[in-house]
Structure 1
Amino acid sequence: MENGQAQVVASGFLTLLASQIGTRIVTFVINLFIARLLTPGAYGLASVQFHLLTTTALFISREGFRRGCLRFGAAGVGAGGDDAGTPGAEAKEADDRGNAGGSNGSGSRKGGAGSGGINNRSVLRAAALTVPWGVVITAGVCGIALWQHTAGTTASSDEPEVPYYREAVLMHGIAAVLELLAEPFYILASVHLMFRSRVAVEFAATLTKSLVTLGLLSSRRLRHRLPPALTFSAAQLAMAAVVMAGYWAVGLRLMAKGRKDKAHKAGVSEISQRAARRHGDGGNSSSASAVPGSGSESNSWLYPWTPLERHVLATSVVFTLQAVEKLALAEGSKMVIATMQSAANQGVYGLVSNLGSLVVRTLFQPLEEAAFAAFSTWGASAKASGAGAAATEVAGTTATAATATTSSPSAATSAARLAPLARALSPMVKAVAVLGLLAAAFGPSYSYVLLRVVYGTRWSETEAPAVLAAYSAYVLLLALNGIGEAFVHAVLDARGLQQSNALLLVFSGVHLGVCVALVRQYGALGLVAADSANMVLRISYSTWCIRRFFRSLPTFSLHRDLLPAPNTLAAFATAAAAAATSNRLLLAGAASMPQRVFLRQAASHVGVGVVLLAALLGLLVRTERAVLRQVMEMRRQRREGGRRATGGGDDAVKSGKED
């Protein structure tokens, strides 16, 4: 990975991280009041059943295109703006590269992250296919949900029919279609790495949903008229409307900027042609006339699909198949509990799942998204420069040539390409490992205190504390798996992705089988145990892929480059043991304690945790100093790159830094 791509990772992660923290803090407070107003059964309806409905429809519809279209960002280098990729654009692009080959000015940076190097029209043509595909998927998912609910209520008298359930499902389907209408512009913003625009839209949408839900539940007049099913549906529709309006605004702004840049280039081209004619330079005139935007076919959206667009669509299909498997892996637990447990048990599991995954969504998901975008760019660039064989080997393909020694020129070239990527991957993995270790060390000892203080005894006296304690350890596995799969899926080629899909399919089958077996015996705890076993399998596969990918880099070591220092691991183990001891000594028999006594004991227990956390942070500053230096170096390079772009007058680079 080049320095500019590392800066994108650091910038994108920090931007998404700040937004996620702000969004989660606000929505956490609002959802806390919502949970206090709902019974476990009603909470389970929103957090499990309706969540599965919208997640299934949207994830299958758009995840493959979201990941596949990121390849436009890598291939857009030199693409020449809005009409690159049209018939004859390859010749134009070659002429442009020839003219810019000896230039050290802005032409050498042509086709960067800005709109000047990405074909917006090609991106939207491919991304627009999410709408018809998503409508079909949404209709099918809603139909299955209605059929399953009808069959379940007629077969069992213990579970009465939810009032207005059919209307609620239809409203959720309409909301999903509204979000899909915004998807082409979301993908366009992602290709342009417009993290801040995404942050603004997602924050507004999430806040709108939470406020509408709380407002409808808190209103005395509406609370008796609107059952929970319709309340959740109205909030989902409001969120979808904000998403659609926000991304349409972002997309139209990008398109307008692309047209402005295109007009500017056309003007520069015309001036160059006039100057060439005045000096009698016919050769340069023909080259200048090949500037993008001069062809008549650029005004049409119906030109034949280019090789790049076909490649992106093929990759999107592979990612879509993978999305189905990932959905089963990620939401298999909720699918099992939705069919095998009562609504009240679903509410308990939904509360713990949402609370336990708060750290995952806040800290790990932004890093995974930013890392995948940057790794995808690096992977495409590496393949274009002849390093694609290394990426193919990650999938386990057999090398056709004998393994070269590290002293050979090819091995040295491969090591030179891989070293920057290893230096970027190392701090990411160590950072998420440290955050996951924090959850695993303190979560089990403080889960009961958190639930009783925040949600009350209605939730703390159920199996929720035990499930949350197990989920805290599961967070560590989620963290490691997320960044590992982001790297592996970004650098694999189409054949490697197909092989990865096959393994994920096997993992999915094993996971669902273990879920069904364990949930009957251990309930929600069995679901967390099955999820943990699934994560172990996936982490093992990602680790094997990473090891093979970097095997031509002799300085790379899984233990040294991807794991925290031994002193750090020992410190976390000691802190976890001390926190568990404090929990046993101070909170034994907490269920029968009066609230005043419990609060006094809980305060002492929390004080012990604060001291342990402070000691851990002090140790981390010493033992993980190299990781901190790498992160600070990424931030420093990003600031310097931004200053150079501002002072250099390069429009393409400026537009790439804009968001």
Structure 2
Amino acid sequence: MSSRDVLKNASTLASYNVLLQVMFRVLTFLLNAFTLRFVSKELIGVVNVRLTLLYSTLVFLSREAFRRACLSGDTGGKHNWRQHVNLLWMTLPLGVTWGVLLACVWLRLLEVPDPRTLPFYGPAVVLFALAGVQELLAEPLWVLAQAHMFVRLKVVAESLAMLAKCIVTVVLVVSAREWGLYIFSAAHLVYTGVLVLCYAGYFLRFLGSEEASKRDFPLRSVGDLLPHKASGEPLVDWSVARLTWSFFKQSFLKQILTEGERYVMTFLNVLSFGEQGVYDVVNNLGSMVARFVFLPIEESFYVFFAKVLQRGRPVQSQRKEDVAVAAEVLECLLKLVLVIGLVIAVFGYAYSGLALDIYGGSLLSSGAGPSLLRCYSCYVLLLAVNGVSECFVFAAMSQEEVDKYNVVMLALSASFLLLSYLLTWWAGGVGFILANCLNMALRISHSILYIHRYFLPSPWKPLQGLLPSPLLCVALAASTAVTVVSEGVLCCDGGWLLRLVHVGVGAVCLVFVLLAVLLAESRLVAFVRTQLLPQYGKKHT
């Protein structure tokens, strides 16, 4: 498969993933707005911070390293998928081990909520851990689907799973509110169960079919999906296993950086359960765009860079066509996420208070809520740049470079935890976001230096994507001034009419910014149209 074909598939995958994440965020947005009217903020804090942290830690540490290692490789198609499947099944016993260890920590070492106000905490911990282990049953299938660009499978499976979770949550919140934590435990088990069933059902139908033959799919029967040793070859590819171990050491540190504030809240008790609930709702609202736009782009184009570039080889020894495509894509991706991040930072500042008031009422719009969301709007810009830059770096690094970077990640993790603890005592929840910003800036600096050194012997300069055009800078600066003045004059105590006028002012400014993008960033517009919107592009070819 040529690099252009890989780019086309990765772009399609990114487009579907963005649409999927948009749907997820909208459903979660509506679900949280609904549950805020029926349950306490303390319950929201325990579920969304402590129990969700248990689940995400278990799943991330059990599978992230395997995903990155098994999706890496060159364009020669030399993967031995039987050996990869054997390796991927190691996620299940690893998940069981992590589940037992983490459940013991959550039950024995952490502060237990008052059973009179938050009953069923113990069973909920066990059920959330069980949900994580259940999801790992689909891990070999997920990696196969991702590597072979089964884009619709992921969309359908995760859509059905999320829909089932929302239905269970709404029904139980309305009809059995006294179940408390059982409601969210049951909903999460349903989510992971539906996910596994969708992937299993698809591959049961797909393997051995005519479509599989046309795709030249490397596995022929259901038995090939189960761990087994083929004659004359090792059980696993040990080079991939060693790469997995390198990523595994890194994944532990990356998880601390990704979920650091939740670890600090959970283990150091710097915020009450109620304050954790408010912070988490604001955090989810602020990270909505980061999750449904930036994360799918990062996941999809990591696959692209890993397939186009040969890991660990300098740019001079790569195919020129592949390097040219990779550089062009990286530059456009950096420019895309930079523009989106700047727009969010500009308009997020002036519309945070209004957004929280509409979403959760005075529970969110009073107190520290608006300040949290304003800070998060700026943090999103750093998230955007870091996601794309690290996406390239991790695909291009050799195993030795990955191991060296683990030391950097260790230092970042330690500094982040210390900064989070100190800044939280000083500034409350805002301190978490400030600590995240500082650490994200350091990670971006490392990635930029690596990219600069990587492309230095070549004529390509993809880091130019981090330079917005002068016209766009003027448009953003003017929009910032106008919307801040509009907020001070019109929002948010003057009634709904003035609020609507404030929204209208923002809409006009946004149109002004988009026009600046269309006029001054024509290369970016062409990239979005032809690569990230492939279905739209097909209609015009």
Structure-1-length-normalised TM-score? 0.75
Give the deviation of 1:415 after TM superposition: 5.5
Say yes or no: does 1:613 pair with 2:510. yes
Give the deviation of 1:544 after TM superposition: 0.5
Residue 190 (structure 1) aligned to one of 146, 150, 153:
146
Say yes or no: does 1:315 pair with 2:243. yes
Paired position in structure 2 for 1:130:
91
Separation in structure 2 between the aligned mates of residue 335 and residue 469 of structure 1, nearest angstrom: 23
Paired position in structure 2 for 1:27:
28
For residue 36 of structure 1, give the secondary structure of its aligned residue in structure 2: coil
Give the deviation of 1:476 after TM superposition: 0.6
Q: Deviation per CA, 1:224-274: give whole Å up to 9, x if none.
A: 3x12x1111111111111111112123334433499639999xxxxxxxxx
Residue 199 (structure 1) aligned to one of 155, 168, 172:
155
The runs of 5 or more residues in structure 2 that have no matched partner are: 222-226
Q: Deviation per CA, 1:573-610: give whole Å up to 9, x if none.
A: 221122111111222xx4xx4xxx43222111111101
Paired position in structure 2 for 1:246:
198
Q: Deviation per CA, 1:356-400: give whole Å up to 9, x if none.
A: 1111111111100110011111223xx5xxxx4317xxxxxxxxx
Say yes or no: does 1:578 pair with 2:482. yes
C-alpha contact 2:476 2:513 (8 A) present in aligned 1: yes
C-alpha contact 2:327 2:462 (8 A) present in aligned 1: no
Quick one: which amino acid aligns to residue 157 of structure 2?
Answer: V
Paired position in structure 1 for 2:224:
none
Q: Deviation per CA, 1:424-458: give whole Å up to 9, x if none.
A: 11111111111111110001110110111121112
Say yes or no: does 1:232 pair with 2:179. no
Residue 210 (structure 1) aligned to one of 155, 166, 179:
166
Separation in structure 2 between the aligned mates of residue 363 and residue 414 of structure 1, nearest angstrom: 30
Paired position in structure 1 for 2:374:
469
C-alpha contact 1:336 1:515 (8 A) present in aligned 2: yes
C-alpha contact 1:76 1:119 (8 A) present in aligned 2: no
Give the deviation of 1:631 after TM superposition: 3.3
Separation in structure 2 between the aligned mates of residue 491 and residue 160 of structure 1, nearest angstrom: 53
Paired position in structure 1 for 2:252:
324
For residue 82 of structure 2, give the secondary structure of its aligned residue in structure 1: helix
Separation in structure 2 between the aligned mates of residue 465 and residue 640 of structure 1, nearest angstrom: 39
Structure number, greater radius of gyration: 1
Separation in structure 2 between the aligned mates of residue 257 and residue 67 of structure 1, nearest angstrom: 28
> How is 1:77-476 mapped onto 2 (pairs within 5 angstroms)?
77=77, 79=78, 119-149=80-110, 152-153=111-112, 162-219=118-175, 222-224=176-178, 226-227=179-180, 229-257=181-209, 261=213, 301-303=229-231, 306=234, 309-338=237-266, 339-380=269-310, 388-390=312-314, 417-476=322-381
Separation in structure 1 between the aligned mates of residue 34 and residue 18 of structure 2, nearest angstrom: 24
Say yes or no: does 1:622 pair with 2:519. yes
CA gap 1:557/1:359 in 2 versus in 1, 3 angstroms: closer
CA gap 1:515/1:637 in 2 versus in 1, 3 angstroms: closer
For residue 159 of structure 2, give the secondary structure of its aligned residue in structure 1: helix
C-alpha contact 2:14 2:532 (8 A) present in aligned 1: no
Separation in structure 2 between the aligned mates of residue 122 and residue 450 of structure 1, nearest angstrom: 50
Give the deviation of 1:321 after TM superposition: 1.4
Separation in structure 2 between the aligned mates of residue 548 and residue 523 of structure 1, nearest angstrom: 39
C-alpha contact 2:83 2:235 (8 A) present in aligned 1: no
Q: Deviation per CA, 1:325-373: give whole Å up to 9, x if none.
A: 1110011111112332101110111101111111111111110011001
Say yes or no: does 1:8 pair with 2:15. no
Paired position in structure 1 for 2:426:
521
C-alpha contact 2:87 2:236 (8 A) present in aligned 1: no
Q: Deviation per CA, 1:438-489: give whole Å up to 9, x if none.
A: 1100011101101111211122112111101110111111011001111100
Give the deviation of 1:159 after TM superposition: 9.7
Separation in structure 2 between the aligned mates of residue 525 and residue 189 of structure 1, nearest angstrom: 39
For residue 411 of structure 2, give the secondary structure of its aligned residue in structure 1: helix
For residue 149 of structure 2, give the secondary structure of its aligned residue in structure 1: coil
Structure-2-length-normalised TM-score? 0.91
Separation in structure 1 between the aligned mates of residue 23 and residue 147 of structure 2, nearest angstrom: 24
The runs of 5 or more residues in structure 1 that have no matched partner are: 80-117, 266-291, 294-298, 392-409, 645-659
C-alpha contact 2:352 2:370 (8 A) present in aligned 1: yes
Separation in structure 2 between the aligned mates of residue 537 and residue 357 of structure 1, nearest angstrom: 20
- Detail structure 1 runs of 4+ shifted over 6 Å in the superposition: 158-161, 262-265, 635-642
Separation in structure 2 between the aligned mates of residue 635 and residue 488 of structure 1, nearest angstrom: 21
C-alpha contact 1:185 1:250 (8 A) present in aligned 2: no
Quick one: which amino acid aligns to residue 27 of structure 2?
Answer: V
Paired position in structure 2 for 1:548:
453
Moved more, 334-343 or 251-260: 251-260
Separation in structure 1 between the aligned mates of residue 304 and residue 130 of structure 2, nearest angstrom: 34
Quick one: which amino acid aligns to residue 278 of structure 2?
Answer: V
C-alpha contact 1:27 1:207 (8 A) present in aligned 2: no
CA gap 1:230/1:305 in 2 versus in 1, 3 angstroms: farther
For residue 473 of structure 1, give the secondary structure of its aligned residue in structure 2: helix
Quick one: which amino acid aligns to residue 499 of structure 1?
Answer: K
CA gap 1:126/1:473 in 2 versus in 1, 3 angstroms: same
Residue 391 (structure 2) aligned to one of 486, 492, 497:
486
Say yes or no: does 1:42 pair with 2:43. yes
The percentage of aligned residue pairs carrying the same residue is 31
